Structure 1
Amino acid sequence: MIEIKDIHKSFGENYVLKGISGLFQDGRNNLIIGGSGSGKTTLLKCMVGLHEPDDGSVLYDGRDFTRLSNQERIEIRKEIGMLFQNSALFDSMTVEDNIMFPLNMFTTQSREEKLERANFCLSRVNLEGKNKLFPSELSGGMKKRVGIARAISMQPKYLFVDEPNSGLDPLTSIVIDELINELTDEYNMTTVVVTHDMNSVMGIGENILFLADGRKEWEGSNKEIAHTNNPKVNDFVFASKFAQAAREKL
């Protein structure tokens, strides 16, 4: 479980996060949603240490990440898998080497052991035999799946995913959502997904934090979001569904 307590973050005079608290539970898809500029990606980056919060705490199973030294944080980082918005694959590396990159950084496994793990992860995302391809040879959906394979290579307890369906068509988006859902359940991970995709919200949103103007405005499940009386949530849901319908007609 991950707990965030009263997280604040500003950049100069831009006050982005204004005291956000919440729980992200094991074995569940925990979604952070909100409009552009609501603070959702900044919150995710504070949780994984890419930004330092100005105030507040991030606790991984009771361990206060924000109070640890860089050296002490390494042990928690070994337990974290991360899928960035644009997959963030290394262009000069093959698929195989991209997946083994965290293993090279954090383990003393032999080359054979790393390759065995890479092959397993590739099979788990249905990309068997794609080891020697380079990112430039992959479709957008394949890049996302390689990114997921790399994210699970260390068998993480915590999986962070930033806009997994950005730039993907609706059918590929469903495949990615289902894969994230399956892996979360299979490995009992604490999965945190930042998204603005209402299909993802309704499909896998077991626990949802809705942010607006840097504050947590609502928390609940995908079953509850359709029936909330919160006007900001309703405006977001309506606008998101309208925008998606418009894009699908193009």
Structure 2
Amino acid sequence: MIEIKNINKTFGENHVLRGISAEFNEGMCNLIIGGSGSGKTTLLKCMVGLHEPETGSVSYDGRDFTRLNFEARIDVRKEIGMLFQSSALFDSMTVEENIMFPLNMFTDQNRKEKLERVNFCLDRVNLEGKNKLFPSELSGGMKKRVGIARAISMQPKYLFVDEPNSGLDPKTSIVIDELIKEITEEYTITTVVVTHDMNSVMGIGDNIIFLANGQKEWQGSNKEIAHTDNKELNDFVFASKFMQAAKDKL
């Protein structure tokens, strides 16, 4: 489990996060949702140490990450997998080399062991045999799947995913959502997904945190979201559905 308490983050005079507290449970897809500028990605970056909050704490199974020194944070980071919005693959590396990168960085496995792990991860995301392709030879959905394969290569306890369906068509988005959910449940990972995609929310949102103006306005499941009386959340859900319906007509 990941627990955050009273997270505040400012950039100059811009108070981006205002006293956010929440729990993210293992074996679940925990979604952070909200409109543009609500603080979603900033919160994720605070949770993994890419930003330092002014106040508050981030705890990984009782370990206060915000209070750890550099060396101690490395041990926690070895348990974290990340899938960035752009997939963040190295263009000069093959699929195999991209997935093997964290294994080279953080393990003392021999070449055979690392290759076995790469092949296992590729098989898990239905890309077996694509080892020698370069990112330029992959579709957007395939890049996302390679990104997931790299993210799980270290067998993480915690998985962070930033806008996994950005730039993907609806059919491919469903495939990516289902893959994230399957992996989360199969390996009992604490998965945190930042998204504005209502299809993802309704499809895999086991635990949803809704942000507005840097504050947590609501928390619940995808089964509860349709029955909320929270005005900010209802406005966000309605606007998202309206925009999607408009896109579907084009």
Q: Counterpart of 2:118?
A: 118
Q: Which amino acid is the alignment partner of residue 52 of structure 1? A: E
1:16 alignment partner, SS class: strand
Partner of 1:232: 232
Using the size of structure 2 for normalisation, the TM-score is 0.99
**Distance in 2 separating the partners of 1:247 and 1:66:** 42
Task: Map residues 25-174 of structure 1 onto 2, 5 A cutoff.
Answer: 25-174=25-174
CA distance in 2, matches of 1:134, 1:50: 28
* Deviations, residues 197-250 of structure 1 (Å, cap 9, x unaligned): 000000000000000000000000000000000000000000001111112222
Alignment partner, residue 199 of structure 2: 199
Where 1:248 maps in the other structure, the secondary structure is: helix
Name the amino acid aligned to 1:121.
Answer: C
The match for 1:9 is: 9
Task: Give per-residue Cα distances to partners, 1:168-200, cap 9 Å, x unaligned.
Answer: 000000000000000000000000000000000
Unaligned runs of 5+ in 2: none
State the Cα distance separating 1:70 from its structure 2 match: 1.0
Q: Which consecutive segments of 4 or more residues in structure 1 shift more than 2 A?
A: none
Q: Distance in 2 between matches of 1:248 and 1:16?
A: 33
Mapped to 2, the partners of 1:248 and 1:48 lie a distance apart of 35
Letter in 1 for 2:22: G
Inter-partner Cα distance in structure 2 for 1:121 and 1:202:
27
> Normalization by structure 1: what TM-score?
0.99
Root-mean-square deviation (CA), in Å?
0.5
SS class of match (1:164)? coil
SS of aligned partner of 1:156: coil
Q: Distance in 1 between matches of 2:210 and 2:54?
A: 21
Query: What is the CA-CA distance between 1:2 and the residue it aligns to?
Result: 0.1
Stretches of structure 1 that go unaligned for 5 or more consecutive residues are none
1:220 aligns with 2:220: yes
Matches of 1:174 and 1:160, distance apart in 2 = 18
